[in-house]
Amino acid sequence: MDERRPGDLRTLDAAAEPEFDSLVRLAAGRFAAAVAVVILSDGDRQRLEARVGVGPRTYPAAGSIAAASAETGAAIWTEDASRDSRFASDALVLETAARFCAAAPIYGAGGGSIGALLVMDPTPRSVSPTDLGDLQTLAGLVGDRLERRRRQLSDEMTEAPYRALVELSISAIIVIDEKGIIRAANPATEQVFGVLGVTIIGRNIRVLMPEPDRSGHQGYIERYLETGERRILGTGREVEGLRADGSVFPMSLRIVEWRNPAGVRFFTGVARDLSKEKAAERALVEARNAATAARERLEDAIDALPEGFGLFDADDHLIAVNARVRALYSGIRGDLLEGARYEDLLRATVERGLFKLPHGTDTETWVEERLAYHRDPEGVEEIELANGRWVRFQERVTRDGGRVGLRIDITGAKQREQELRRSMEAAEAASRSKTQFLATMSHELRTPLNAIIGFSQLLLSGITGPVPDGTAEYVKLIAQSGEHLIEIINEVLDLARIETGELTLNRQQLDVARLLTTVVEEAREQAERRGITLALDHVDAVPEMRGDPIRLKQIVAELVANGIKFTASGGVRVAASLDKGAGQVTILVSDTGIGMRREDIATALAPFAQVDAGLDRRFEGCGLGLSLAARLTALHGGELTIDSVPDVGTRVRVRLPLGERGAWMDDAGVPR
């Protein structure tokens, strides 16, 4: 076969060809055949170029009698194709139900076969060598006609370089005549329009146009031929094309007019598919719109921030700010604010008196301090403005080396801080005044009370003479009341000294068990008078510790006295234990008294406060015992906690650190 394809040879043309049609009809009559066709091969496909008894179409070359004749270069025939295994799969044979088939090769200019002349009929028959010779003669006439057409088209496009450009172009290049009939098409036509170029030669160019251009195209040509009015000739524009699958696509089209040596007019159109470009343009527009929308959302979000926001790039130029920052720098021109370097912006604000510089600080020093923080932002800066407002500056370094900063108005917080400071100072002053008053009054009361107690004891001793009958009890009551007042005064003085920091501990090594035993024994008479028990449990295992023996005894005595006072039946129990892991001793004072609610414990621990504070309260006292015990415990580095249930009783725990190394530790410092 000729290695060149018919499309390459410019030999295919499906326009009405009287000579082709007459040759096909002659072959059908000569062989009394129902079907006669001229078949031209185009690679693995074949096209019915001229035909009798069958419609126009392409079909596979493989397994066909026409392809076999073209391949062998000889006329071949079969009496009954349905029984001939060589051609049983021939698509044209199956379509026409043909049994008798005969084919003769058609030769191209290069001497190779490019197709075949085929006759077919449903009736089986045989042929003679003369019959085959006649068929070959007719095939030769077809080849001659194709060669004349090839030479004609070759004359129209004679220059090889231009032909190479046409063949290699990625744009579809199509030549039409004055009637709009396609005379030539390059290979790129298939990529652009989805149709093989050779299959549209001879058809009207309108097959590649969607409506309304399809209907109006012939009118365009006729109007141009009549008036010479150019619409798109010599220029380019965007139009729509129609693919073989019916889809419409955008393309650019440029058309030029030319004439062949014989003076015949032709038009060449160059069409380029713009689908990808248009899709890319749409994607770019969508991306830009999305980016714009995202930026607008971000700007709205930044503007909605309650804090001022500023963003500086790696070159330290301001690239984004929100409304809060603009309000802060309201005295700065907009052209200076946007795109300004941080240092220029800082100096401009100082020059306009926006900030209140600390007393004694010169402008340059203050600016350098702010620049140093901006270059290496750690922590926050709080700066007072000239209008009295306060702003907290907080900055961070971004990944690209820029700076992002927040400007937070903390004026309200500063005002509250100042108010709180003034309140605290006033409270501290009032507390100092109260403490000083209590200390002074306590000292003033001690002198007359000591005199009262002393004279009462003198009278009771009988040194001044016998006390009249019935008077001794009154004198004894006077002495007891004086001693009680002295105890209260001492507690008030201790509390005042603790609050002023004047009370110091005299720490020494002490025996906890002996201290607890002493307290219990001294309080036993008081418990017996109340008709309750007072017991001491589990104290022998507790080691020595460091502490102030007087103050520790005062703590336990206060707790035991409270337990006795508020217990009507049952008793009070004192116990102690060692927590080696924590390195501390716990003293527990529990009673079966009246107890109290959980929410009343804080009141019981407050100085001068009592849970039962009415004028008709059942228990005497000024409400200093528990408060003083808790504060003395805290001075030792310990903790006093209370658990209590109404009508069940109260448990008070005093946890105290053992202090420095003593008998309770081994040589490695670990609790024994």
What is the rounded average pLDDT of the residues 266-272?
A: 90
The answer for residues whose C-beta is within 8 angstroms of residue 143's C-beta and 6 or more apart is 106, 107, 108, 114
DSSP at 467: P
In percent, the amount of the chain with pLDDT more than 90 equals: 25
Stretch 85-92: mean pLDDT: 87
Residues 44 and 112 in one domain: yes
218 lies in the same domain as 144 = no
Domain C-terminal end among 451, 483, 500: 500
pLDDT in tens, 483-511: 666 666 776 766 667 777 777 888 999 99
State mean pLDDT over 239-266: 89
Position 307 in a domain:
yes
Average pLDDT over residues 396-423: 89
Higher pLDDT, 226 or 75: 75
Residues 6+ apart with CB under 8 A from 296: none
pLDDT tens for residues 521-573? 988 998 999 999 999 987 777 888 999 998 898 899 989 999 999 999 999 99
DSSP secondary structure string, 127-193? --HHHHHHHHHHHHHHHHHHHHHHHHHHHHT--HHHHHHHHH-SSEEEEEETT-BEEEE-THHHHHH
Q: Do residues 75 and 202 share a domain?
A: no
In a domain, 257, yes or no: yes
What is the pLDDT confidence band of residue 22, given thresholds at 50, 70 and 90?
confident
- 644 and 534 in one domain? yes
CA 156 – CA 159 distance, rounded (Å): 9
Q: Which own/partner contact pairs does 56-64 have at CB distance under 8 Å and 24+ positions apart? A: 56/14, 58/199, 59/91, 59/92, 59/95, 60/91, 62/89, 63/87, 63/88, 63/89, 63/90, 64/90, 64/91, 64/92, 64/93
Domain end residue (candidates: 134, 156, 178)? 156
Mean pLDDT value of segment 155-179: 74
- Average pLDDT on 25-54 reads 82
pTM over 0.85: no
Task: Tell me the average pLDDT across 361-384.
Answer: 88
Q: State the sign of the Cα–Cα–Cα–Cα dihedral 307, 310, 311, 314.
A: negative
Q: What is the pLDDT of residue 142?
A: 86
Q: What is the pLDDT of residue 426?
A: 83
Three-state SS at 488? helix
Model pLDDT for residues 239-251, shown as the tens digit of each residue: 999 998 899 999 9
User: What was the pLDDT predicted at 658?
Assistant: 87
Structural domain contains residue 495: yes
- Pick the most confident of 155-159, 391-395, 610-614: 391-395
Per-position b or e across 103-141, b if 16+ CB within 10 A of its CB: bbbbbbbeeebbbbbbbbbeeeeebeeebbebbbebbeb
Is 304 exposed, middle or buried (CB count within 10 Å of its CB: 0-12, 13-18, 19+)?
exposed
Q: Are residues 203 and 103 in the same domain?
A: no
pLDDT reported for residue 659: 75
Token output for 518 = 């002493």
> In which band, very low, low, confident or very high, does the pLDDT at 618 lie, cut at 50, 70 and 90?
low
- Letter for the amino acid at 139? A
Note whether residue 211 is domain-resident: yes
- Regarding whether 151 and 217 lie in a shared domain, the answer is no
In the prediction, which pLDDT does 14 show? 40
Comparing 80-94, 98-112, 321-335, 628-642, the range with the smallest average pLDDT is 321-335
Return the minimum-mean-pLDDT range out of 17-31, 161-175, 267-281, 428-442: 428-442
Per-residue pLDDT, 546: 92
Q: Burial, 35: exposed, middle or buried (Cβ in 10 Å; 0-12, 13-18, 19+)?
A: buried
Same domain, 422 and 334: no
Amino acid found at 113: S
pLDDT in tens, 279-298: 999 999 999 999 999 988 88
Give percent above pLDDT 70 in the chain: 81
Same domain assignment for residues 461 and 381: no
Instruction: Classify 246 in phi/psi space as left (phi over 0), alpha (psi -120 to 50) or beta.
Output: left
Range of the domain at 182: 160-275
Question: Which pLDDT score, from 0 to 100, does residue 231 have?
Answer: 65
Whether the CB-CB separation of 96 and 54 falls below 8 Å is answered with yes
- Whether the per-residue pLDDT at 446 is higher than 70: the answer is no
Q: Which of 159-163, 182-186, 230-234, 476-480 has the lowest mean pLDDT?
A: 159-163
pLDDT for the residue numbered 17 = 56
**pLDDT tens digits for range 337-363:** 678 888 888 888 888 888 888 888 888
CATH number, position 53 = 3.30.450.40
Same domain, 545 and 629: yes
For residues 384 and 356, is the Cβ–Cβ distance under 8 A?
A: yes
Q: What's the pLDDT score for residue 463? A: 78
Q: Answer whether residue 281 is part of any domain.
A: no
Number of domains in the chain: 5
Burial of 360 (0-12, 13-18, 19+ CB in 10 A): exposed
Instruction: Give yes or no: residues 377 and 244 share one domain.
Output: no
Does residue 620 register a pLDDT over 80?
no
Look at residue 291 and tell me if it is in a domain. no
Within a domain: 438: yes
pLDDT at 667: 45
Whether residues 253 and 316 share a domain: the answer is no
Instruction: Out of 420-429, 485-494, 612-621, pick the least confident.
Output: 612-621
Per-residue pLDDT for 477 more than 80? no
Specify the higher pLDDT residue, 589 or 46.
Answer: 589
Residue 355 CA to residue 349 CA, distance in Å, equals: 7
Quick one: pLDDT at residue 484?
62
- The phi and psi torsions of 63 (rounded to 5 degrees) equal 75, 10
Q: Do 84 and 120 fall into the same domain?
A: yes
- Mean pLDDT value of segment 8-24: 56
Which range, 53-57, 227-231, 274-278, 433-437, is most confident?
A: 274-278
**How many other CB atoms are found less than 10 A from the CB of residue 436?**
12
Domain end (from 500, 518, 533): 500
Query: Which two three-digit tokens encode residue 344?
Result: 């220029």
φ and ψ at residue 487, rounded to 5 degrees = -60, -45
The answer as to whether 424 is a domain residue is: yes
**pLDDT exceeds cutoff 60 at 670:** no
pLDDT of residue 34 exceeding 70: yes
Whether residue 104 is predicted with pLDDT greater than 90 in this model: the reply is yes
CA neighbor of 11 nearest in space, from 129, 162, 192, 183: 183
Give the amino acid at 632: L
pLDDT of residue 383: 86
Asked if residue 419 has pLDDT above 80, the reply is: yes
Phi-psi category of residue 647: left, alpha or beta, with phi > 0 → left and psi -120 to 50 → alpha: left
> pLDDT value at position 55?
74
- 113: β partners: 107
Domain CATH for 389? 3.30.450.20
In this structure, what are the phi and psi dihedrals at residue 94, rounded to the nearest 5 degrees?
Answer: -65, -40
Q: What mean pLDDT is reported for the chain?
A: 81
Residues 377-381, mean pLDDT to the nearest whole number: 87
Tell me the two tokens of residue 512. Answer: 């906890």
